[in-house]
């Protein structure tokens, strides 16, 4: 199709909001509430058939943690195609424009929450984790053993300490957003603080904030009443127990606590109950946009010194690692270890082992004896995401 793909302007916002309503079931946006097409850290692209907007996507500027390094990330969101234009191959040229611009801005990986994973696998993305909501009986959160850690309600003066807790936790995982990028205000900023029923802090005997829970009190106090926990992060077991005990104090009026989390949350190691009912699960996908830059920026285990050759899409690369630092460069010879773009994404995140990638044909060839070195280089950290975009 002969389409015009360009960044949107304010004059396109009425069509953009209408397409958003069609794609995601959002309520109609009154003309007086139309958003601006230009917001810091966001690029809004559309595909036009004449004057008609038939597809759109937003590229958001993020950083996400991989191997202890904050990696420039293009978060793609609000992807939609008009019903009558679906199945015509519009998404690929639209993404080409979106990701070309993202690369020019410095992004080396891209991530998204898909509604149709197959489409995005065809574009080189692969699932690395899921953002989930899990139900736990509130009564199970009471009576957990703790010593000197106490809890109190957060104020605006605590925002820096809350960010410190999140930054320390997120930097030790693979995948979480930094919450300091231009496109990310964070779950706890001045506006966010007022958006929650409460943010409860865990405070140790020295007065240091060691954890927090951001929560909303649902409506009513009948059998279906809930406490909704949007963020539960702590740096030590005592902090988790103190926060869970405080949430458990709602057992008489809110029988269910819902926790938004991802992966295999360590909070489950402290729960005295086996009840953990996942009620919602949204996959999170990653694509490596620039192989050499993405692998050179990422951190690696300090104990590994190795040279690892591999190929992606027929292009050969050599990853050299020493003292936690990696350098990836084009290789002069074709290596027999071949990763698909999807396999590279899963490996980069530490989401899948080489053995699992081989079982799905996302990794072929090479010396299988070297698989454990690849696994050690990219693994060792849990994969998590806490923010939806």
User: If you average pLDDT over residues 1-6, what whole number do you get?
Assistant: 92
Report pLDDT digits (tens) over 62-72: 999 999 999 99
pLDDT band, very low/low/confident/very high, at 181 (cuts 50, 70, 90): confident
Helix (H) or strand (E) holding 316: strand 315-322
Question: Coil, helix or strand for 21?
Answer: helix
> Where are the CATH 3.40.630.30 domain residues in the chain?
4-112, 132-281
Topology of 132-281 in CATH? Answer: Aminopeptidase (3.40.630)
pLDDT at 206 over 80: yes
Taken in order 89, 94, 100, 103, is the CA torsion positive or negative? negative
What's the pLDDT at 184? 79
Residue 332 confidence (pLDDT): 85
Tokens 């050690």 belong to residue? 376
pLDDT at res. 333:
79
CA distance to 70, 180, 190, 306, per residue, from 160 (Å): 19, 12, 11, 39
**pLDDT at residue 306 above 70?**
yes
Element housing 318 (H / E): strand 315-322
| Higher pLDDT pick, 263 / 128 | 128
Integer-rounded Cα Rg, in Å, for the chain is: 23
Output the pLDDT for position 221.
Answer: 96
What is the tens place of the pLDDT at every residue in 61-104? 999 999 999 999 999 999 999 999 999 999 999 999 999 999 99
The answer, yes or no, to whether residue 224 has pLDDT greater than 70, is: yes
pLDDT at 180: 87
pTM of the model: 0.95
Give residue 1's pLDDT. 76
Stronger pLDDT, 332 or 191, i.e. the higher one: 332
pLDDT of residue 187: 61
Mean pLDDT of the chain: 95
Tell me the fold of 4-112: Aminopeptidase (3.40.630)
Band of the pLDDT at 188, cuts 50, 70, 90?
A: low
Distance of CA 187 to the CA centre of its chain: 13
List, for residues 43-61, the tens digit of each pLDDT value. Answer: 999 999 999 999 999 999 9
Task: Count other Cβ atoms within 10 Å, centred on residue 149.
Answer: 22
Does 123 score more than 80 pLDDT?
yes
Task: Give span(s): CATH 3.30.1050.10, the chain.
Answer: 290-378
For residue range 310-354, what is the model confidence (pLDDT) as tens digits? Answer: 999 989 999 999 999 999 999 987 778 999 999 999 999 999 999
Q: What is the mean pLDDT of residues 185-207?
A: 83
User: Which DSSP symbol is given to 86?
Assistant: T
CATH of region 290-378? 3.30.1050.10
Q: Match 């999170």 to its residue by tokens.
A: 284
């Amino acid at each position: 199709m002969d389409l015009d793909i360009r960044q949107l302007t304010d004059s396109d916002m009425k069509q953009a909001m209408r397409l958003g309503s069609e794609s995601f079931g959002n309520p109609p946006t009154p003309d007086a509430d139309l958003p601006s097409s230009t917001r810091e850290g966001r690029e809004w692209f559309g595909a036009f058939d004449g004057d008609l907007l038939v597809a759109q996507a937003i590229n958001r500027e993020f950083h996400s943690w991989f191997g202890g390094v904050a990696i420039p990330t293009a978060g793609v969101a609000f992807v939609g195609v008009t019903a009558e234009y679906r199945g015509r191959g519009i998404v690929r040229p639209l993404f080409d424009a979106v990701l070309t611009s993202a690369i020019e801005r410095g992004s080396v990986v891209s991530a998204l929450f898909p509604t149709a994973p197959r489409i995005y696998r065809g574009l080189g993305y692969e699932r690395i984790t899921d953002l989930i909501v899990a139900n736990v009986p509130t009564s199970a959160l009471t009576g957990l053993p703790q010593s000197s850690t106490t809890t109190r309600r957060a104020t605006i003066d605590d925002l820096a300490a809350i960010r410190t807790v999140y930054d320390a936790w997120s930097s030790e995982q693979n995948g979480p957003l930094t919450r300091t990028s231009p496109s990310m205000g964070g779950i706890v900023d001045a506006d966010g603080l007022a958006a929650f029923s409460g943010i409860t802090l865990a405070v140790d005997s020295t007065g240091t904030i060691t954890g927090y829970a951001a929560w909303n009190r649902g409506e009513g106090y009948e059998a279906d009443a809930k406490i909704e926990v949007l963020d539960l992060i702590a740096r030590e077991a005592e902090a988790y127990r103190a926060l869970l005990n405080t949430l458990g104090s709602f057992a008489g009026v809110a029988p269910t606590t819902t926790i938004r989390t991802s992966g295999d949350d360590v909070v489950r190691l402290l729960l005295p109950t086996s009840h953990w009912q996942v009620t919602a699960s949204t996959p999170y996908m990653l694509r490596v946009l620039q192989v050499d830059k993405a692998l050179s920026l990422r951190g690696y285990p300090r104990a590994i010194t190795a040279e690892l050759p591999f190929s992606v899409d027929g292009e050969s690369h050599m990853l050299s690692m020493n003292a936690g630092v990696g350098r990836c460069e084009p290789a002069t010879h074709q290596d027999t270890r071949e990763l698909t773009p999807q396999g590279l994404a899963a490996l980069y995140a530490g989401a899948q082992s080489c053995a699992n990638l081989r079982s799905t044909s996302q990794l072929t060839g090479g010396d299988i004896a070297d698989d454990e070195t690849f696994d050690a280089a990219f693994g060792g950290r849990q994969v998590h995401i806490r923010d939806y975009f």
